[in-house]
Structure 1
Amino acid sequence: MKKTIELALPPEVAFNDQLFEQHLLQTLRLRPEDKPFIRKLKRSIDARGRQIKVNLAAEVYVGEPAPPLLAYRKDFPNVSKAPQAIVVGGGPAGMFAALRLIELGIKPLILERGKDVRSRRRDLAAITKHHTVNPESNYCFGEGGAGTYSDGKLYTRSKKRGDVRRILEILVAHGATEDILVDAHPHIGTNKLPLIVTAQRESILAAGGEFHFDTRVTDLYIKGNQLKGVYTQNGDLIEGIGVILATGHSARDIFELLYKRNVYIEAKPFAMGVRIEHPQPLIDSIQYHTANRSDYLPASSYALVAQVKHNGIEKGIFSFCMCPGGYIVPSATAPGEVVVNGMSPSRRDSKYANSGIVVAVDADDMLPYEKYGPLAGLQMQKELEQRACLIAGGTQTAPAQLLTDFIRNKVSRELLPTSYQPGLQSVQMSEVLPENISYRLKEGFKQFGQKMKGYLTDQAQIVGVESRTSSPVRIPRDKESLEHVQLKRLFPCGEGAGYAGGIVSAAMDGERCAEKLADMYNEKRIL
């Protein structure tokens, strides 16, 4: 017998396996000696009412075996002697593209400018302790990409672009907890992602693929209208049947290279602003309607959006990459700039909650930078990050201000304790941010304070700048073939190309590009 059941349970039952099983047996009138097999399907928290409940769906099997949890199997062919494709970038887009290429009988050769995931830790520590930014190894560059050391959230709305379940199963097959298949907003955590990334690399190497660290692409080998290969910083030419370009949203030198080589790119809307930090208990009390969150409930999150009109133009202000129980981290990719991002460990047990609060940036905002052509948004980012660094003292110390002082245009006498380890400098954030962004943030925070009573408080502070929400450049590609609209055998991929916004969407895009590259090769559309 198989039965599917949906329940609304108190958190102490839903998150306790023993109590949940007892409740389920009573509900279905089963006995322990019936030896039922229980598999959770979906779990989500409903905190809209005073009594918090957890909606949980499960399958129960009695007297018959349950099917395997994972449809995905790590059963790869050996591709060591197969045709070679180049994957530039070892983040989720590049990593999942490589695994899919192997399944399709093509050898991936991954070129990663940064270090392996373990070696990256020393460079991250140097940023925090010594304010030293390694341009090749930091929170954005290195094996696993930006997501590895900045949270590991797996929620995506891009469900039409690929098989979300497949991506999650691949992560489970490489060491992620099975909970990510169940939770409505799955999350792995910065402390666990490195092991999963390492396991994926080991799968690629075991199947005959190659991984080259400390290998930065500096030029393209173009013949006619086809990309035949790439040159590395050592002058080496590496050729392949196609190139999947999965360099992430911060690889500015790649955008500049494409522009220099007359490979068509275009400016893309993005968003920028600040990161706000509250005490996590305050956010819990607002969201869970109680002063004391139970041990069974996770640190609470929020999602906020507002519309603000300025100079006759209405634009959106929204929360981005909200990190409950998390930390603010330094995400600069070059000396002389300050960029912040957020992350959470798997337990989400920090004392702080932080979130990006950003304003939409479009062509109107980029008009002062129009001389930079498609790199206008990139230049806008650069100038903001460099100004933040200069005003805060020229190190990785970040400019900051109490939220209420920001609203009142008052420099904060003292700042609050923070999770941002390089430290904060009290400044007038309106001097750091462009005027239109500063104005909209102030009005947006006022609206957020009305939507979440207690959010607009002197217990919160803003930290700048949050400028790397997405790529400011799009590398256009054909909708069907996914090849670049001009340069054949180039497959722009993931966040850096403007076609993804997070680990799962980037992974799905990597798989799609791998499939299209394989189709191209099998149809013999290469010369």
Structure 2
Amino acid sequence: MSKIFKDIKLPIDQELSEHLLWLMPESGGYRILRQSVDARKKHSPHFVYTVEVAEKGETLKTEAFSLPRISKLPATFQKPIIIGSGPAGLFAALRLVERGIPCKLFERGSQSADRIKGINRFWRYGELDRRNNVCYGEGGAGLYSDGKLITRIKSDHIPYVLNRLVQFGAPEEIQWLSNPHVGSDKIRRVIPKIREFLLQNGCEIFYNSQVTQLLYGKNCVTGVITEQGHQHHSDHVILATGHSAEDMLQHLIDSDVFVEGKSFAMGLRIEHPQAEINRIQYREFADHPKLGSANYKLAHHDNQSGVGIYSFCMCPGGYVLSSGTEPDALVCNGMSNFNRNSPYANAAMVVSIQHDKLFGEDRMGGMKLRKELETRAFQAVKEVGGSKELPVQNLVSFLQKSNRHKVTDTSSPSGIVNTRLDQLLPSFMYEKLKEGIEKFESQMKGFISEKAKLYGVESRTSCPLRVTRDDSTLQSVSHRGLYPCGEGAGYAGGITSAACDGIKCADKIFESLKTIED
């Protein structure tokens, strides 16, 4: 019978296989269940493993994640509708077809190959494609976010998500690394394989078909209307439109679907030379080939105000991207490819925006502030003669409220212009960011560096609104048949959590159909 060994600590130059032979001389194969790097300063960097080891002659079983299926659909069956093909929508569709439930998937943008062409034109020439950009199109915002699979949620669906990503071409290591990522270059090859599987297994996909309206009955949703004017009817509509679909959120509000304001986070994105982050984290081992590009995770909580300042979406060996969805607004985000070999490291530095304290009864307060900052960022670039570039400020100058240090280098494919980001942000956000960054310097000596820079604005960490749903049925509290899902509905914050939420909604539909079948 196989044995599981936890908390195996090995120096970075020691081979795991040799150590396992010492632990179990009469062993067969082994499987890594978890791998992480411990680089705390009190000792040398080392790997920490959890490993399952087979006895000699034994074969380790792999989880197939086989699912119960619908054997017979009801006579009145209408295919469930999914709006949006980001992680939540794609995994909702995948889960449904694997359970024998055909469905319809609507996406306002194009397939990933055409979408990438629109994104590249935007970065190079500043020509925004409202249909295909870093937030809209097949794959959603997750297609250009490093393929990071790190999540704070606890869900039984996480192993299924990772397994299916590997099945469609993601690196196998994402199933055991503590900080898994697919890479923006590799995830672009995974998404088309998921699409092909869906099409072969009962999912109809409608690209360049924005859902502009929902169809309503009495306290329920009965289908959708696309921009082409076509109606599609269903008793089950999964709303997975992402955190940037303001037009759909406004339609829901206008239609009296229950939507409420929620807290979220905004700020700037910080970039250092990757070599500096490696030196801070790994010290004299900074250039060791087994360690690769170092990452970090930082957080500070102001107990008096209740405001949190923290890093988010850290991209080792990455790039800072212009990620807006409106022609008169600028947004930044980060990504890195699988090898993480850019000479820069970046991460969001964000401040928690407390809805109740800042906006009270104004549920649109967060959305208004987001729009205001994105517009101000665009105007700041225009005022200094820029067009498509991202606004940037040297970190030391930001803290000193000056423009003394100019930034000349960047990872951004859109280029940069030097601006006063310290003047762009509301004073409360500036003060909290300054407070947090100074605290982070005490945690990572050298974090405040003249080689570091800040980009504006990091405003799409999550949606400022929540389309409220019932905890049990996952349907809208005001309109049955509507399943608010993922980041855009306020129930996720990243690829993995969004995918898990899509699965949860799909499983609720399966349960309702299974009840009819039984």
Give the TM-score of the pair, scaled to structure 2: 0.94
Answer yes or no: is 1:484 the counterpart of 2:476. Answer: yes
Q: Residue 278 of structure 1 contacts residue 353 of structure 1 at CA under 8 Å; is this kept in 2?
A: yes
2:203 to 196, 209, 226: 209
Amino acid at match of 1:12: D
Answer yes or no: is 1:140 the counterpart of 2:135. Answer: yes
Amino acid at match of 2:92: A
Q: Residue 284 of structure 1 contacts residue 290 of structure 1 at CA under 8 Å; is this kept in 2?
A: no
Amino acid at match of 2:4: T
Residues 364 and 492 of structure 1: CA distance in aligned 2, closer, same or farther (over 3 Å): closer
Q: Residue 392 of structure 1 contacts residue 399 of structure 1 at CA under 8 Å; is this kept in 2?
A: yes
Q: Following TM superposition, by how much is the alpha carbon of 1:273 offset from its aligned partner in structure 2, in angstroms? A: 0.5
Q: Which residue of 1 aligns with 2:463?
A: 471
Q: For the residues of structure 1 that align with 2:225 and 2:3, how far apart are their CA atoms?
A: 58
Unaligned runs of 5+ in 1: 14-18
Q: Residue 79 of structure 1 contacts residue 209 of structure 1 at CA under 8 Å; is this kept in 2?
A: no
Answer yes or no: is 1:118 the counterpart of 2:110. Answer: no
Q: Which residue of 1 aligns with 2:49?
A: 56
2:284 to 286, 290, 308: 290
Q: Which residue of 2 aligns with 1:256?
A: 250
Amino acid at match of 1:3: K
Q: Following TM superposition, by how much is the alpha carbon of 1:290 offset from its aligned partner in structure 2, in angstroms? A: 2.1
Q: Following TM superposition, by how much is the alpha carbon of 1:75 offset from its aligned partner in structure 2, in angstroms? A: 10
Q: For the residues of structure 2 that align with 1:446 and 1:184, how far apart are their CA atoms?
A: 27
Unaligned runs of 5+ in 2: none
Q: Following TM superposition, by how much is the alpha carbon of 1:97 offset from its aligned partner in structure 2, in angstroms? A: 0.6
Q: Which residue of 2 aligns with 1:156?
A: 151
Q: Which residue of 2 aligns with 1:10?
A: 11
Answer yes or no: is 1:193 the counterpart of 2:187. Answer: yes
Answer yes or no: is 1:517 the counterpart of 2:509. Answer: yes
Greater mean deviation of Cα atoms: 438-447 or 99-108: 99-108
Q: Which residue of 2 aligns with 1:307?
A: 301
Q: For the residues of structure 1 that align with 2:39 and 2:256, how far apart are their CA atoms?
A: 52
Q: Which residue of 2 aligns with 1:494?
A: 486
Q: Residue 281 of structure 1 contacts residue 291 of structure 1 at CA under 8 Å; is this kept in 2?
A: no
Q: For the residues of structure 2 that align with 1:360 and 1:465, how far apart are their CA atoms?
A: 14
Q: For the residues of structure 1 that align with 2:404 and 2:301, how far apart are their CA atoms?
A: 27
2:171 to 173, 177, 200: 177
Q: Which residue of 2 aligns with 1:233?
A: 227
Q: For the residues of structure 1 that align with 2:311 and 2:184, how far apart are their CA atoms?
A: 20
Amino acid at match of 1:140: C
Q: Secondary structure of the residue that 1:84 maps to in structure 2?
A: coil
1:377 to 366, 381, 398: 366
Q: For the residues of structure 2 that align with 1:185 and 1:271, how far apart are their CA atoms?
A: 22
Answer yes or no: is 1:437 the counterpart of 2:426. Answer: no
Q: Residue 301 of structure 2 contacts residue 307 of structure 2 at CA under 8 Å; is this kept in 1?
A: yes
Superposed CA offset, 1:183-230 (max 9, x none): 111111101101211111111111121111111011111111121111
Q: Residue 219 of structure 1 contacts residue 257 of structure 1 at CA under 8 Å; is this kept in 2?
A: yes
Q: For the residues of structure 2 that align with 1:490 and 1:110, how far apart are their CA atoms?
A: 15
Give the TM-score of the pair, scaled to structure 1: 0.92
Q: Residue 78 of structure 1 contacts residue 207 of structure 1 at CA under 8 Å; is this kept in 2?
A: no
Q: For the residues of structure 2 that align with 1:466 and 1:69, how far apart are their CA atoms?
A: 40
Superposed CA offset, 1:262-299 (max 9, x none): 21101111111000000011011111122632011021
Q: For the residues of structure 1 that align with 2:274 and 2:71, how far apart are their CA atoms?
A: 48
Q: Secondary structure of the residue that 1:425 maps to in structure 2?
A: strand
Q: Which residue of 1 aligns with 2:262?
A: 268
Q: Secondary structure of the residue that 1:360 maps to in structure 2?
A: strand
Q: Following TM superposition, by how much is the alpha carbon of 1:307 offset from its aligned partner in structure 2, in angstroms? A: 2.9
Q: Residue 83 of structure 1 contacts residue 107 of structure 1 at CA under 8 Å; is this kept in 2?
A: no
Q: Which residue of 2 aligns with 1:66?
A: 59
Q: For the residues of structure 1 that align with 2:268 and 2:71, how far apart are their CA atoms?
A: 47
Q: Following TM superposition, by how much is the alpha carbon of 1:364 offset from its aligned partner in structure 2, in angstroms? A: 5.3
Q: Residue 339 of structure 1 contacts residue 467 of structure 1 at CA under 8 Å; is this kept in 2?
A: yes
Q: Which residue of 2 aligns with 1:16?
A: none
1:47 to 33, 39, 49: 39
Q: Following TM superposition, by how much is the alpha carbon of 1:68 offset from its aligned partner in structure 2, in angstroms? A: 3.4
| RMSD after superposition | 2.2
Q: For the residues of structure 2 that align with 1:270 and 1:156, how far apart are their CA atoms?
A: 16
Amino acid at match of 1:216: Q
Q: Which residue of 1 aligns with 2:21?
A: 25
Q: Which residue of 1 aligns with 2:309?
A: 317
Residues 216 and 316 of structure 1: CA distance in aligned 2, closer, same or farther (over 3 Å): same
Residues 25 and 380 of structure 1: CA distance in aligned 2, closer, same or farther (over 3 Å): same
Q: Secondary structure of the residue that 2:446 maps to in structure 1?
A: coil
Q: Which residue of 1 aligns with 2:418?
A: 426
1:391 to 380, 390, 404: 380
Q: Following TM superposition, by how much is the alpha carbon of 1:59 offset from its aligned partner in structure 2, in angstroms? A: 2.3
Q: Following TM superposition, by how much is the alpha carbon of 1:77 offset from its aligned partner in structure 2, in angstroms? A: 8.4
Q: Residue 243 of structure 2 contacts residue 463 of structure 2 at CA under 8 Å; is this kept in 1?
A: yes
Q: Following TM superposition, by how much is the alpha carbon of 1:72 offset from its aligned partner in structure 2, in angstroms? A: 2.7
Q: For the residues of structure 2 that align with 1:314 and 1:100, how far apart are their CA atoms?
A: 39
Residues 76 and 352 of structure 1: CA distance in aligned 2, closer, same or farther (over 3 Å): farther
Q: Following TM superposition, by how much is the alpha carbon of 1:396 offset from its aligned partner in structure 2, in angstroms? A: 2.6
Greater mean deviation of Cα atoms: 226-235 or 73-82: 73-82
Q: Secondary structure of the residue that 1:392 maps to in structure 2?
A: helix
Q: Secondary structure of the residue that 1:450 maps to in structure 2?
A: helix
Q: Following TM superposition, by how much is the alpha carbon of 1:522 offset from its aligned partner in structure 2, in angstroms? A: 4.2
Q: Secondary structure of the residue that 1:146 maps to in structure 2?
A: helix
Q: Following TM superposition, by how much is the alpha carbon of 1:377 offset from its aligned partner in structure 2, in angstroms? A: 1.1
Q: Secondary structure of the residue that 1:386 maps to in structure 2?
A: helix
Residues 119 and 318 of structure 1: CA distance in aligned 2, closer, same or farther (over 3 Å): same
Residues 519 and 23 of structure 1: CA distance in aligned 2, closer, same or farther (over 3 Å): closer
Q: Which residue of 1 aligns with 2:394?
A: 402
Q: Secondary structure of the residue that 2:80 maps to in structure 1?
A: strand
Q: For the residues of structure 2 that align with 1:74 and 1:487, how far apart are their CA atoms?
A: 29
Amino acid at match of 1:213: Y
Greater mean deviation of Cα atoms: 149-158 or 74-83: 74-83
Q: Residue 101 of structure 2 contacts residue 202 of structure 2 at CA under 8 Å; is this kept in 1?
A: no
Answer yes or no: is 1:450 the counterpart of 2:439. Answer: no
Q: Following TM superposition, by how much is the alpha carbon of 1:331 offset from its aligned partner in structure 2, in angstroms? A: 0.8
Q: Residue 336 of structure 1 contacts residue 395 of structure 1 at CA under 8 Å; is this kept in 2?
A: no
Q: Secondary structure of the residue that 1:12 maps to in structure 2?
A: coil
Q: Following TM superposition, by how much is the alpha carbon of 1:516 offset from its aligned partner in structure 2, in angstroms? A: 1.3
> In the comparison of the two structures, how many residue pairs are matched?
510
Q: Residue 3 of structure 1 contacts residue 59 of structure 1 at CA under 8 Å; is this kept in 2?
A: yes
